[in-house]
Amino acid sequence: MSWKDEVATLKAERNAVILAHNYQLPEIQDIADYTGDSLALSRQAAATDADVIVFCGVHFMAESAKILSPGKTVLIPDERAGCSLADSITAEQLAEWKAQYPDAVVVSYVNTTAEVKALTDICCTSSNAVDVVESIDPDREILFCPDQFLGAHVKRETGRENIRIWPGECHVHAGINGKELAEQAQAHPDAPLYIHPECGCANSAIYLAGEGVVEPERVHMLSTGGMLDRAHGEQSGTVLVATETGMLHQLQQAAPETNFKPVNPRAECRYMKMITPEKLVESLRQMRDEVTVDPEIAGKARASLERMIELGNPGSGE
Ligand code: 13P
Ligand code: SF4
């Protein structure tokens, strides 16, 4: 039996659904029932009728699925698939920060542990961060964590001054820098720029647009699902893409005539790539690695995730 047939057989036996993030290996994206961005996958996890969710992504995503669907068995094919951004703030650090600003509203990116979400008022993803912040009383101070580049993007878009931003970052997106972006943008003067707001070059893109080096209409700050939506109507011959390179698989399928060129072709998340076809088969065969969350933590974290899901951009890339 091929690994694909084995996955199909085991999936039916277990009544399992496979969810995959847009940065997964192409063969994992292709075999998944749903491939999408963080928000779309959270929605799928909350709504599924399956008994088992196999989450092909990183640990915080599988943890969110468990929090949203506590009655289901949630598996991740390799529990070591972590996230440098989620590691950039601990629950203890957030508790200390909150103690300094007791009246502030805490907005956390979903790239955080369940313990951090439990101390959060409302979560956000890159596709709805602006909507989430705009939903908060303009007079309330906001603590935004952990991504500094997404925080800067939200601050710029909302024009809000009362946001304090935690200095965390994702090592993959922070490594996509302004110098590379400027060089590529000049080498491809007509190409639109699809930029994930977690990128180190996000500020540079706005700066380059402000300086007239790049026309502002070329700059599109998008979540991975937003990139896919935009690609479906893409007319340009070349598009420059600033995000993890796993995204190119789906973009290329959405617009086969367009050449999607990575701004940094080395921008690969080693955690996302820990999920392989072999591990997916083993996961379904042996029902591992099971993801669990302490029920008290899960209850508090669920409130912050559900507030997000009820609001803002419905998510895309499904
Ligand atoms: P989105 O898919 O929500 O844009 O998130 C990107 C990411 O880095 C997830 O780890
Ligand atoms: Fe985390 Fe960055 Fe990998 Fe996304 S790409 S999972 S934010 S380390």
Q: For 27-39, b where at least 16 C-beta lie within 10 A, e where not — what string?
A: ebbebbbbbbbbb
Tell me the chain's radius of gyration from C-alpha atoms.
Answer: 19
Domain chopping of the chain, boundaries: 3-82+272-293, 86-170, 176-262
* Helix, strand, coil percent values for the chain (each to nearest 5): 45, 15, 40
Helix (H) or strand (E) holding 277: helix 277-286
38 is in an annotated binding site: yes
C-alpha of residue 245 to centroid of ligand 1, in Å: 12
Closest residue by CA, ligand 2 atom 2: 170
pLDDT, tens digit (0-9, with 9 covering 90-100), for 161-172: 999 999 999 999
Pocket test for ligand 2, best of 22, 24, 84, 198 (most atoms within 8 A of CB): 84
Q: Phi and psi dihedrals of 261, rounded to 5?
A: -110, 125
User: What's the fold here for domain 3-82+272-293?
Assistant: Rossmann fold (3.40.50)
Q: Phi and psi dihedrals of 25, rounded to 5?
A: -55, 145
> Mean pLDDT across the stretch 276-283?
98
pLDDT of residue 211: 78
Q: What percent of the chain has a predicted confidence (pLDDT) above 70?
A: 98
pLDDT, tens digit (0-9, with 9 covering 90-100), for 42-69: 889 989 999 999 999 999 999 999 999 9
Q: Is 24 in the pocket of ligand 1 (CB under 6 A)?
A: no
Residues 6+ apart with CB under 8 A from 94: 106, 108, 116, 119, 120, 145
How many other β-carbons are positioned within 10 Å of the β-carbon of residue 219? 18
The band of 208, judged by pLDDT with boundaries at 50, 70 and 90, is: confident
Q: Is 224 in the pocket of ligand 1 (CB under 6 A)?
A: yes
pLDDT of residue 191: 96
Q: What is the CATH number of domain 176-262?
A: 3.40.50.10800
pLDDT of residue 317: 35
pLDDT, tens digit (0-9, with 9 covering 90-100), for 67-117: 999 999 999 999 999 999 999 999 999 999 999 999 999 999 999 999 999
Give the three-state DSSP class for 205.
helix
CA distance to 123, 128, 160, 232, 270, per residue, from 24 (Å): 23, 22, 35, 20, 10
Helix (H) or strand (E) holding 55: strand 52-56
pLDDT of residue 318: 30
Assess whether pLDDT exceeds 60 at residue 312.
Answer: no
Residue listed under structure tokens 């508790």: 95
Pocket test for ligand 2, best of 55, 124, 172, 247 (most atoms within 8 A of CB): 172
Q: What is the CATH number of domain 86-170?
A: 3.40.50.10800
Query: How many CA atoms does the CB half-sphere of 110 hold within 13 Å?
Result: 32
65 in Cβ contact with 305 (< 8 Å): no
Q: Considering the entire predicted model, what is its pTM?
A: 0.93
Domains 3-82+272-293 and 86-170 share a fold: yes
